[in-house]
Amino acid sequence: LTGIPREQRAFQYLLAHAIPGDPHHILQTFDQWCYHCEHLSCVGPAKGRIVERLLLERAPLRVLELGTYCGYGTVLLAQGLPPGARLYTVEGDPRHAAVAEKVIRLAGFDEHTVELIVGPSEEVIPQLQEKHGLMKADFVFMDHWKRCYLRDLKLLESHQLLAEGATILADNVLFPGAPHFLQYAKTCGRYRCKVHRASLEY
């Protein structure tokens, strides 16, 4: 009705209520908006705890996120990085990327810590080494179009972008579902698989 996209409305709510430079409070404010105002397809606090735990266990120095959306997952990942780590996040929709950029900077992360790359993942992934300096990713978080999960995993493999022992965390593989990705991960012999049970966000 307002002509303002809901992602932009959520950002306006953040500006009014969140503490700048406080990533935890940014996420809490996002959660308040999603619970009480409008649903956004963010990771959310329940699944966010799984992400936080894995980051703490793995302490990755080079992290790749596919599917920035509004920047919720990006802030979640960035606040869990060890010192000196760098996060590369890829968003295909320029409108979402514009909101995410503001959210990431509002949370206090500069371009040295978080690099936002705008473009389709199938075009960005082959350029990550040469154009963006990401030689190997220790941790990959997939939260973009489910139909792209398998294609992009194979792209990461073919461009040798996965460090030895890398962790790949993929959201919503059961619902809405990424069955071909799951089947490949379980049967190709390259990965040890674990399914983390969680409810849908919010």
152 is a catalytic site residue? no
Cα–Cα distances in angstroms (integers) from residue 85 to residues 11, 55, 139, 145, in the given order: 26, 11, 11, 26
| pLDDT at residue 1, rounded to an integer | 61
* From 7, 31, 138, 172, the catalytic residue: 172
Phi-psi region of 128 (alpha: psi -120 to 50; beta: other; left: phi over 0): alpha
**What structural domains does the chain harbor?**
6-188 (3.40.50.150)
* From 31, 65, 138, 171, the catalytic residue: 171
* From 31, 65, 152, 201, the catalytic residue: 201
172 is a catalytic site residue? yes
DSSP 137: E
| pLDDT at residue 199, rounded to an integer | 86
Place of tokens 């908006």: 33
Q: Using one digit for the tens of pLDDT, what is the confidence trace for 51-63?
A: 999 999 999 999 9
171 is a catalytic site residue? yes
Average pLDDT along the chain, 202 residues, taken 10 residues at a time? 88 97 98 95 95 97 98 98 97 97 98 97 98 98 97 98 98 92 97 92 88
143 is a catalytic site residue? yes
| pLDDT at residue 135, rounded to an integer | 98
* From 47, 101, 146, 152, the catalytic residue: 146
DSSP 96: H
201 is a catalytic site residue? yes
DSSP 19: -
* From 138, 143, 154, 164, the catalytic residue: 143
